Amino acid sequence: MGAGKSTLGPALAERLGRPFVSVDAVVEEQTGSSVAQLFAERGEAGFRELEERTAQELLLRRNLSVVELGGGGLGAAATRDALAASAFTLHLETTPDEAWERVAGNGRPLARDPAEFRALYAQRRELYERAADGSARDVDGAVLAAAGIHVAAGAVERLGELVPGAGAIELVLDGGVEQLHGGRVRAALGERLAASHVVPAGERAKTLAEAERLWSAVRLGRDGTVLALGGGSTLDVAGFVAATYLRGIAWVPVPTTLVGQVDAAIGGKTAVDLPEGKNLVGAFHWPARVVADMELLETLPATELANGLAEVVKTGLLAGEPLWELQAAEQVRRCAAFKAAVCLRDPLDRGERAQLNLGHTFAHALEAASAYELPHGRAVGLGLLAALRLSGLEEDARTVAELLRPEPVRVDREAAWAALARDKKAAHGRPRLVLLETPGKPRIGVELDEDDVRAALDSLIVV
């Protein structure tokens, strides 16, 4: 009570693209009386009966929605069972002082006396903690909890408890990261760690040969978990192995790059490269948990940080907020939450998830034309410039130019154009782009005149 459910609930529902239902509101609607009236007329027990029946109906219906359930509702064993069976239960954290401030004087039946209110809070607290699958203080926290993403400095030390289940864990880690962070991670996993597999540093890990080596080396049963420690490359191959080994076992990415924390670890896409192109073979496989520990980024070289910053800027443009101005920890939290919400709304990339490709059609074309010599961040910086200019957002293009300083590249123009036309987002050979109406309002699948797209691409290339 007073935790802010009725503010956060609808906001969360909107972020997840799901309906919002309040148990209290449904009870009020069905009886034609307010909760206060029901308390007065039928006593608390009478109200609880109605609440329990309504909560059951709403929860067991299992249609994807955000349900607001009042604090007292957990008193009913049947409601607790329904939550455990059908819901992801989020505990909205608050302190008794904050909660009292919100409810004092608003006439709620159980919030008339501060001392009684505090006693009730203390009495219910344990029940909440037992029923909860996660906890949050704000909408981003709620999205992250629902997506299974844990973002916290020092989280690696708690990996033993953060990896769900009790089965064995096998670690797949980037060769370059092993010396830096492997020891801490192994120590935190303790006895659950059954084996470690080192893969080549960076993109060289993303091959079918590496996947095959891992398929053969892993000894986990169906209750086992693959834990991936490294940047997006390691996560992609380890996630793909987890998605396919025994037809799919749990995996937990622990990203060690900024790209990994704000992008690659989020949303369940896994893949390896083929000689024919990047990410051509893969699977959707949502992680059992993501553990993003910003302290792991302290050893990251500046060039790798710059790659991540480009994705942060992209995310800020999509979200319509200058997320790049936030300090590091909050930046990771907000960016991860933004991508997680998009992916929860469109987990299989059939619709609006395409917005995450902002700037990437151009970026991929430039990368391909450079034979992948061009760093991804620089390519994305250039791609964002082109997308913003084609969107008619000159001022935002200038902001991106200042933030990322993307230098035009020296690649073959024809090769870049051919790669753009081949891009998997092309429909009938015509490039389809993600543009912005304004920051925060993406437009996907935009087909523009070929000459304009070609001119935008050419402007990123020096001859």
Q: Which residues pair with 435 in a beta bridge?
A: 443
Which range touches ligand NAD (CB under 6 A), out of 9-17, 63-71, 98-106, 291-299?
Answer: 291-299
Residue 333 corresponds to which tokens in the numbers above? 């939290």
Which of 69, 131, 177, 252 touches ligand NAD by CB under 6 A?
177
Residue 104 or 180: the one with the smaller Cβ distance to ligand NAD is 180
Say whether residue 267 binds ligand NAD (CB under 6 A): yes
Contact 296, 329 (CB under 8 A): no
Minimum Å gap between C-beta 58 and ligand NAD is 34
Minimum CB separation of residue 93 from ligand NAD in Å reads 30
User: Considering Cα of 100, then 105, then 106, then 112, what sign does the dihedral take?
Assistant: positive
**Interface with ligand NAD, residue 279, by CB under 6 A:** yes
- C-beta closer to ligand NAD: residue 136 or 155: 155
Closer residue to ligand NAD (CB): 342 or 403: 342
Gyration radius of the chain's alpha carbons: 25
Report if residue 259 touches ligand NAD, rule: CB under 6 A. Answer: yes
Q: Which is nearer to ligand NAD, 25 or 180 (CB)?
A: 180
Q: Alpha helix (H) ranges present in 245-301?
A: 258-259
Tell me 271's DSSP state: E
Smallest separation, CB 349 to ligand NAD (Å): 10
Question: Strand, coil or helix: what is 136?
Answer: strand
Taking the complex as a whole, how short is the minimal distance between the CB of residue 401 and ligand NAD, in angstroms?
Answer: 22
Residue 195 amino acid letter? A
Residue 104's identity, in one-letter code, is A
CB nearer ligand NAD, residue 170 or residue 304: 304
Q: Which tokens belong to 446?
A: 């935009």
- Residue 287 binding ligand NAD, by CB under 6 A: no
Strand pairing report for 149-151 and 290-292: parallel
Closest by CA to 344, choosing from 190, 140, 202, 162, is 140
Number of residues that bind ligand NAD (CB under 6 A): 30
Is residue 155 part of the contact set for ligand NAD (CB under 6 A)?
A: no
Among 152, 168, 180, 194, binds ligand NAD (CB under 6 A): 180
**Three-class SS string for 34-80?**
CHHHHHHHHHHHHHHHHHHHHHHHHHHCCCCCEEECCHHHHHCHHHH
Binding range to ligand NAD, per CB under 6 A, among 99-107, 257-265, 319-327, 442-450: 257-265
Alpha helices in 220-264 (DSSP H): 232-244, 258-259
Q: How far apart are CA 25 and CA 170, in angstroms?
A: 47
Binding site for ligand NAD (CB under 6 A): 174, 176-177, 180, 201-203, 206, 230-234, 236, 256-257, 259-260, 263-264, 267, 269, 278-279, 296-297, 299-300, 304, 307
